[in-house]
Amino acid sequence: MAHGEVLEFEEYVRTRQDALLRSARRLVPDPVDAQDLLQTALARTYRRWEGIADKSLADAYLRRVMINTRTEWWRARKLEEVPTEQLPDASVDDGTEQHADRALLMDILKVLAPKQRSVVVLRHWEQMSTEETAAALGMSAGTVKSTLHRALARLRQELESREIDAGALIRGEREEMGRERCAA
């Protein structure tokens, strides 16, 4: 590649790097993977830079290279599965205990006032931030915090009165929520 072409490519990368990284972030969720994707695409584009007649189309060319590279990575990942002669033992969870825990938790939530229940559900089940919860419920962040504090204290009191291990209940609910999210 001619010296002028190298300088032109370097200038292009300097001026377009942020926009191209944003495009990479839209293609892959992990920021480190997005940087790797962009670097790979830049290296591949550098080799073809002389062949790009209309440099105003360089962004489109580079984005296509990023899409193709991401597709190659995805296909390579799928090929890592290796067929075997014997299938692994399949274990089936009973789920009865988790359903009982969930039913108990739903029953205990009934002791809360509607506003408290809404705050607990949004903060812990929906995993919204304090600010997001406040916006969703039309209250201040401070009100969300104090309401949540009182609601959790009331739930602990109810659990203690029913002589239940709150830690086991919460862990079981989080595991079930994790499985639900994986299934979705």
Dist. CA 50–CA 5, nearest whole Å:
7
**pLDDT the model gives residue 74:** 83
The residue ranking higher by pLDDT, 118 or 4, is 118
Place of tokens 């695409």: 41
- pTM of the predicted model, to two decimals? 0.43
**Rounded mean pLDDT of 6-21?**
92
How much of the chain, in percent, has pLDDT values that exceed 90? 33
For 31-85, the pLDDT digits (tens) are 999 999 999 999 999 998 888 888 888 888 999 999 999 988 888 776 566 777 8
Classify 55 as helix, strand or coil: helix
